[in-house]
Amino acid sequence: MIINTGSRTDIPAFYSAWLINRVHAGFLMARNPYYPKLVSRYVLDPRSVDALVFCTKNPEPILKDIHELDAFRQFWYVTITPYGKDIEPNVPDKHRVIESFITLSKHIGHKRMVWRYDPVFVNQKYDIAYHIRAFETIASLLEGYTDRAVFSFIDLYEKTKRNFPEVREVSYDDQITLTKAFVQSCEKHHMILTGCLESKELARYGADMNGCMTKQIIEQAIGEELSVPKGTPARDGCSCLLGNDIGAYNTCAHFCKYCYANYDREIVIRNMKKHDPESPLLIGHIEADDTVKDVNQKSWINAQLKLDL
């Protein structure tokens, strides 16, 4: 099975000590975001966890302890965008994030690293020309440290519209222009450009529009063939393996204006005060009326087949 850490929050950036403690303990717990009294218990054992998948805007805090994760197959998605503090107030300087990306790539291998350039939105400051220049610059700096870049255009969830009322969707003509330019940069710097839940029509301009965390992509990253049981897609039209997320919504302190995982800044602050690095839960502790269930964990690796890294 695969354990995901990044669909609901940024664990490496804000909760790395907790994760390392859980690795030492050999298990962790995660609340169901829709039924909070239901708690899943995961065993952190490389024999049943086929991959630990991370999504982060700042891997730096966990780098000092990264060797503690060496027993696990890891797959990292690191978001590096061109926005300033007006949009991403608590994300570190992008050059520092790039340095952390390179350090991590040298440790685990470039095939287990993905650069995310998302979400893409366009306004007077961050216009088409700005994105094309920024994407090319970042791609040039990451050349040799990843072979895949993921992009997506902003989705206007209700949370996003409330917290970022001035944002607008990217027109389809602008999507085409940007996709063409991004593909050109990726080809120049030996990367595959992959779309995240965007129009399949963009594939005609050279992008891989089949999904950004698919079975095939994870297999290529970890060098193993997986026999994944059938399940319900996390989102309509999405073929990515996004289940078994151990994070919690309303716990990310990057406070990006476009964020879909936070509802309200004050809720995030309150939740983060409940964080205990020694607890099996990311936020708070197990309560008397919680129902804790062990997750049925089985390896999906086909032991008879191994892919070439």
152 neighbors 196 (Cβ within 8 angstroms): yes
- Range of 87's domain? 2-306
Measured between alpha carbons, how far is 159 from 163 in angstroms, rounded to an integer?
6
CB 5 within 8 A of CB 53: yes
d(CA 113, CA 109) in angstroms, rounded, equals 7
Residue 31 neighbours by CB distance under 10 Å: 20
pLDDT of residue 291: 98
Ordered per-residue pLDDT tens for the chain, 309 residues: 999 998 899 999 999 999 999 999 999 999 999 999 999 999 999 999 999 999 999 999 999 999 999 999 999 999 999 999 999 999 999 999 999 999 999 999 999 999 999 999 999 999 999 999 999 999 999 999 999 999 999 988 888 888 898 888 899 999 999 999 999 999 999 999 999 989 999 999 999 999 889 999 999 999 999 998 887 666 666 777 888 999 999 999 999 999 989 988 999 999 999 999 999 999 999 999 999 999 999 999 987 655 555
Among candidate residues 157, 172, 75, the one with its CA nearest the CA of residue 122? 172
Q: Are strands 301-306 and 224-226 parallel, antiparallel or unpaired?
A: antiparallel
- How much is the pTM? 0.94
Domain count, the chain: 1
3-state SS of the chain is CEEECCCCCCHHHHCHHHHHHHHHHCEEEEECCCCCCEEEEEECCCCCCCEEEEEECCCHHHHCCHHHHCCCCEEEEEECCCCCCCCCCCCCCHHHHHHHHHHHHHHHCHHHEEEEEEEECCCCCCCHHHHHHHHHHHHHHHECCECEEEEEECCCCHHHHHHCCCCCCCCHHHHHHHHHHHHHHHHHCCCEEEECCCCHHHHHHCCECCCCCCHHHHHHHHCEEECCCCCCCCCCCCCCCCCCECCCCCCCCCCCCCCCCCCCHHHHHHHHHCCCCCCCECCCCCCCCCEEEECCCCCCEEEEEECCC
Q: Is 197 exposed, middle or buried (0-12, 13-18, 19+ CB in 10 A)?
A: middle
Specify the pLDDT at position 243: 84
pLDDT for residue 166: 87
